[in-house]
Each structure stands twice: as C-alpha cells, then as structure tokens.
A and B are shown apart, each in its own frame.
Chain A
C-alpha cells in the first residue's frame, strides 16, 4: 500500500465512517435515554423513499434535496405512527412496524421501477452501504473532497452545535418531561427536533453505511456509554469516543483483515464496523465496572460471603 493509495481509498472511507458514527451516536445517546432507540431503526428505514423521491423530483443527486426529502419522510412517518397509535389504540411497536416497513417497501419499489440516477443507488447500496465508493480523487486538493464527507461534516457540526446550545432543554425533557413542560421548554418541540436530528444523521450516514447498519451507530456506542456512566455529559463524550474508535477499527478490519488469512479481497466495511460496535457492547455489558453483568454477580457473591 502506498501513501497515495491510502489517501485516495482509505482515508476518505475512514473519515466518512468516523463522521457518520459520531453524528449518529450523538443523537443516539438521547434516543437511548428516552427509551426510543427503535425510533432510530424506524427513521433510518423511512428516509429511503424520501431520498429516492427527492432524486426523482429534482433529477439530480444533490445534498440539499436529499436532506429535505428525507426529513419530510421522517416527519410524515412520525405523524403516521401517531395517527395509528391514537386511532387504533395500538402499542408503539406495532404502529412503528407498520409505518416503517411500508415506507421502506415503497422506497425499494421506487428504486426498482425508476432506475434512479442511472443506478447510482440500488438495493445493495441501501442494505449494505457503499463506503468503498467514497474516493478522494486528487488528495491534497480540497475542492475534490468527497461530497459525502462534506455533508457529514456539516450535519455533525450542526448537530453538535444544537446539542451544545440546548443541552439543558434536552437533558430536562429527557429525564423529566413534566418538569420540562413546567419550565416552558416545550418537550413536544424537543421530541420533534430530535426526530428531525435523527433523520438528518440517518441521511448523512445513509450513503456510507446503508439504512440498516446505521442502527448500529445510533444504538451501539450510546449503549456502551450507558453501561459505563450515569452522567449525561460523560455519556455523550464516551459514546462519541466509542463511535470514532469503532469506525476506525471496523474499517481497518474490513480492509486488512482478509490479508491475515491470505485473501486479497476486502470485507464489507459497514458490516465490520457494526460487528466492532457489537463486540464493544458485549464487552461493556459483561465487564463494565459497576453495571456489567459479571461484576454485578461478583458483587452479589462477595456481599453474600460478607454477611455469612
């Protein structure tokens, strides 16, 4: 591998993966604490018809149109879920499952029928991501920085800015919606903003990792952090760190792992990132100092022997 190869192939892919993971885990922390982790699953599916629809309408693959289409789709989905819950008196899971599978199916059908953007996005990209296609054609030339990286950087900056400005509103409405309403923080507005943020992060990460594995980035790093800490700010920082580490490690595993058993092919990087996140989660669930399953067992045993 030459330096040139690294700059053209690996660096942009690692950057994309890292930015996507960090953006998603930032939003994911709040979703997890609100017990709305499955909202990430639902939103990441429903952005598909939004993206395809935007490409069909505008005829081009531009960042702004895709973002707008996907956000509209996310808000439509949330409204439909609420409608089903209120009118059908359904549990949230059933309402969510109905809406997101339907919208995803519509997105897949639109993809097949319309041959969007000359097959630029097809079903494989949607399911498996296309991290390998993010290339920096002439390294050093900032004008040719891949579009995906620019979009992700902008989305991450906006999300981080919003989290910084409104951390008090987010924290209070997450832990105590009633108090938030009393303080005039408008918890409903915060919820809608969170859905929008989820949609934005999902779309930005969509091109890199597809619409299923995005769930790993929303849920995984925040879960690791949740096993390690009780403090909100620490939770956010740990999950961002875990996300960055998992993205890098996952990509390295995909690109260079097969070399270990003598293969020259590479594995799907989005998949290895999800697996890396999963492994970190298992480790944290078992060995977290305070809340890990093993340390809890050990504590129980030692307290039993102490009382004897």
Chain B
C-alpha cells in the first residue's frame, strides 16, 4: 500500500498521472514563476502590501460574477467570467486605496486596511447570499478562498497558463523601464520615462497575477506568492537579473510541489501547502544565505569583534599594559600567548607590527583628518589593507622622517 502511494506520487511529479493533473501542475508552476517575477518589482517599489488589498477586493467580484452568470447562462462556474468579475472589483479596490491615500488625511496603511476589510466584508455577505441559492456549482467558489487545484478542470488550467505566460512576457518586455523606476525613480523620470504610467502597468500586471492565482492559491494567501519568493531572492543577491531568476524559481517550485501534493491529498487546501513550501525556502535562505543570512552575519560579527579585541590587546601589550581576561583568552587561542601568560615570539612581532600600524593610522588622522573620519575601518584593520599603497608609502615616509 505504501509502495503504490509512493509510485503514485512519483507519477504525479513527472506529470504522468493523467492529462488533467499534468495540465493543472503545469499551469500552477507557470503561475508561480510569473508571480515571483512581478513580485520582485512590487517589493522593490515598496508596494508589497497593496497586493493584500487587491486580493481581498476580488471576493465581491467573484460572487457578483457568479450571480450574473447564474442569471444569464444558468451557471456561474466559468473561470473567465469569474476572473473578469474578480479583476473588476480588484481595480475598484486599487482605485479606492489610491483615492483614500491622496484625498483624505489617512495614510496608505489605513487605506489598505479599509479597502481590504470593506471589500472582503461585501464579498462575504454576497457569498452568504449565494450559498442560500438552490443552484449547482457554488461549491466551486470555496476553492477561490484557500485554493483547490484538485478540483481544477483542464480549461481552467489552460486559462491560468495563458494568463501567466502573458504576464511574464509583458514583464520581460518591460524589464528596462520597470527596473529604472524601481531602482531610481527620479533618474528614470529624468531619462524621460513616464513613471506614473509605468507604475500603472506594473499594478495592472500585479492585478492580473493575483486574479490568475485565485484558483491555485486562493485569495487569502495569493499575496504570499508575490511577497515570499522575492524576499527569499533578496537574501541571495544584489543583482536584479539574478533576483528575478531566483524568485521565479522559488515561486514556480513551491507551486509545482504544492499542486503535486494537492493531487496526492485532494483534501488539503493547496494554497496553505504552497505557501508553507515557499516559506521553507525563505527560512532556509534567511538562515544560510552568504552575506545577508543570519549565520553569515553572526559569524561576521564574531570575527569582527575578535579582530578588534585582538588588535586592542596587542596594542596594550606593546605599551606594556596588561589586557583584560577576555582579550587574553583571544590572544591565547590565536597562539600568541605562551603557557607562562607572556607573549610568544610571534606575539611580540605581531604586537610591534600592530603598534607601528597604529602609529600610521594616527598619522593619517593628523594629516588628512577629513578623509580619516570618513573611513569606517579607521584603526580597526591593518592600514595597507584599507588605504591605497601610495598613501601608505607616503605615511611611512613621513613617520620615518618625523
């Protein structure tokens, strides 16, 4: 029994568990990549939380579209119709946030909170009305809340794939203006870029991604897919291209694995699984990423402290003072202190070198006070590691003559 379960999971993972499942997984993965890519720009533009307002604002649209479909076609379960409704109220939500921010004394946080809860409240009311109707197909609406790829049809998967590919193509085509506006708004506008228009296009693509992801991740958690992958990527790189690639990879990977899990355990809310997978990638990055990661920062801070204490201890020794216990411990672990608690030969040499280095740093402060004060490493590292060789040579010459 266990064996067949694993075999089934493996078949799902290599897209061999039926046409429908393969389509759903492909669609979800492409969506994840698109969300990760557009999310990078949203994050760099400091607009991450606006997607929370957008996603919650889609609920009344979904319910209204369902009611319209029911009245006109006799059934409301059509992904294009529902997505159009979602996008319509999503746009209203964006406009409302903008209006509140610009025209009232309330800040953006209050605007987002207001739109998010007001629209969602209206959606909840409409949904509770829909539920009392004796119509078929309303059960499908629940999938929009927390995501349900297991019940997704082939048509829906195709629609999601097409929309995601469109978003990605548009983002890549507009890479340059987007990057310019995100990195330096004023410079971009000096170059003749229409910043407001670029922002509008960016927000429109964000809206499209959010609406596309409703069926996969659900409207409560879809914002995680435009926030968590870029945050993960941010820990690894400073370069935009690399960031887009990592973010797309994390988003796509989480959606691929999440929809596979959902095909295997159909009762699990797909959105929660996908978000947890993405969050695991994020937590891993926060811990071990090379420069910004927690481990690397702690190691770096420890090394820095050790280096400074060691230098101060050597300076104290060269002046004939006795360093404190902590410094003595570090001296001993560096092999500069003998068993008799006196400096070794190497320790004496190092103390002398540090003392002469220190004299050069003091001379630098005396001769070029402004430049010295602007040097953050002043006095904490050997001078020839920090300053250019000719400056050090000049200081040496002065020290020798003086």
Q: Do A and B interact?
A: yes
The chain A residues found within 8 Å of chain B, CB to CB, are: 32, 35-38, 40-41, 83-84, 87-91, 93-98, 101-102, 104-106, 108-109, 112, 123, 127-128, 212-213, 215-216, 218-220, 223, 226-227, 254, 258, 263, 265-268, 270-275, 277-278, 281, 285, 291, 293, 296
Q: Known pairs A97-B51, A105-B275, A123-B146; list 16 more (Cβ under 8 Å).
A: A37-B113, A38-B109, A90-B43, A93-B46, A97-B48, A98-B224, A109-B272, A112-B272, A212-B117, A212-B120, A215-B117, A226-B110, A258-B129, A274-B117, A278-B122, A285-B100
A102, B284: Cα distance in complex, Å: 14
Q: Is B209 an interface residue (CB 8 A)?
A: no
Query: Do A106 and B113 form a contact, CB below 8 Å, given A98-B282, A226-B105, A274-B124?
Result: no
Q: Which residues of A contact B117 (CB under 8 A)?
A: 212-213, 215-216, 219-220, 274, 277-278
A-B contact list, 30 entries, CB within 8 Å: A32-B106, A35-B107, A36-B109, A91-B46, A93-B46, A98-B227, A98-B228, A98-B279, A105-B272, A105-B275, A105-B279, A108-B146, A109-B268, A123-B146, A127-B124, A127-B145, A216-B120, A220-B114, A223-B106, A265-B132, A267-B128, A271-B124, A271-B125, A274-B121, A274-B124, A275-B122, A277-B117, A278-B117, A278-B119, A285-B106
Q: Is B116 an interface residue (CB 8 A)?
A: yes
CB distance from B44 to the nearest CB of A (A): 9
CB distance from A45 to the nearest CB of B (A): 8
Q: Is B91 an interface residue (CB 8 A)?
A: no
Q: Is B292 an interface residue (CB 8 A)?
A: yes
Q: Which of A218, A275, A277 contacts B125 (CB 8 A)?
A: A275
A221, B167: Cα distance in complex, Å: 38
Give the number of chain B interface residues (Cβ < 8 Å): 60
CB distance from B119 to the nearest CB of A (A): 8
Q: Which residues of A contact B294 (CB under 8 A)?
A: 83, 87
**Contacting residues of chain B (225-247) with chain A, CB-CB under 8 angstroms:** 227-228, 230-231, 234-235
Q: Is B156 an interface residue (CB 8 A)?
A: no
Q: Is B257 an interface residue (CB 8 A)?
A: no
Q: Which of A90, A97, A112, A267 contacts B52 (CB 8 A)?
A: A97
A178, B146: Cα distance in complex, Å: 43
Q: Which residues of B contact A94 (CB under 8 A)?
A: 43, 46, 48, 227, 230-231
User: Which residue of chain B has the shortest Cβ distance to A266 in the bound complex?
Assistant: B128
B contact face: mostly helix, strand, loop, or mixed: helix
Q: Which residues of A contact B124 (CB under 8 A)?
A: 127-128, 213, 268, 270-271, 274
Determine if B127 and A268 form an interchain contact, defined as CB atoms under 8 angstroms apart.
yes
Q: Which residues of B contact A218 (CB under 8 A)?
A: 113
CB distance from B259 to the nearest CB of A (A): 15
Q: Which of A37, A95, A220 contacts B231 (CB 8 A)?
A: A95
CB distance from A243 to the nearest CB of B (A): 13
Q: Which residues of B contact A215 (CB under 8 A)?
A: 113, 116-117
Determine if A102 and B279 form an interchain contact, defined as CB atoms under 8 angstroms apart.
yes
A127, B145: Cα distance in complex, Å: 9
Query: Do A35 and B279 form a contact, CB below 8 Å, given A220-B117, A268-B127?
Result: no
**Contacting residues of chain B (274-333) with chain A, CB-CB under 8 angstroms:** 275-276, 279, 282, 286, 292-294, 297
Determine if B292 and A88 form an interchain contact, defined as CB atoms under 8 angstroms apart.
yes
A104, B230: Cα distance in complex, Å: 19
Q: Which of B56, B114, B116, B224 contacts A101 (CB 8 A)?
A: B224
User: Which residue of chain A has the shortest Cβ distance to B267 in the bound complex?
Assistant: A112
Determine if A275 and B118 form an interchain contact, defined as CB atoms under 8 angstroms apart.
yes
Q: Which residues of A contact B146 (CB under 8 A)?
A: 108, 123
Q: Is B223 an interface residue (CB 8 A)?
A: yes
Determine if B106 and A112 form an interchain contact, defined as CB atoms under 8 angstroms apart.
no
Q: Which residues of B contact A291 (CB under 8 A)?
A: 104-105
Q: Is B221 an interface residue (CB 8 A)?
A: yes
Determine if A263 and B122 form an interchain contact, defined as CB atoms under 8 angstroms apart.
no
Q: Which residues of A contact B292 (CB under 8 A)?
A: 87-89
CB distance from A86 to the nearest CB of B (A): 9
CB distance from B141 to the nearest CB of A (A): 12
Q: Which of A32, A90, A112, A213 contacts B120 (CB 8 A)?
A: A213
Interface centre among B48, B113, B119, B132, by most A CB within 10 Å?
A: B113
Determine if A88 and B286 form an interchain contact, defined as CB atoms under 8 angstroms apart.
yes
Q: Which residues of A contact B112 (CB under 8 A)?
A: 37-38, 41
A95, B268: Cα distance in complex, Å: 26
Q: Is B103 an interface residue (CB 8 A)?
A: yes
User: Which residue of chain B has the shortest Cβ distance to A103 in the bound complex?
Assistant: B279
Q: Which residues of A contact B213 (CB under 8 A)?
A: none
A98, B42: Cα distance in complex, Å: 14
User: Which residue of chain A has the shortest Cβ distance to B232 in the bound complex?
Assistant: A98
User: Which residue of chain A has the shortest Cβ distance to B268 in the bound complex?
Assistant: A112
A104, B217: Cα distance in complex, Å: 13
Which 3 pairs of residues, A with B, have the shortest CB-CB distance?
A: A274-B121, A278-B118, A271-B124
Q: Which of A123, A270, A274, A293 contacts B145 (CB 8 A)?
A: A123
Determine if A90 and B286 form an interchain contact, defined as CB atoms under 8 angstroms apart.
no
Q: Is B251 an interface residue (CB 8 A)?
A: no
Q: Which of B43, B118, B123, B221 contacts A281 (CB 8 A)?
A: B118
A272, B221: Cα distance in complex, Å: 23
User: Which residue of chain A has the shortest Cβ distance to B119 in the bound complex?
Assistant: A278
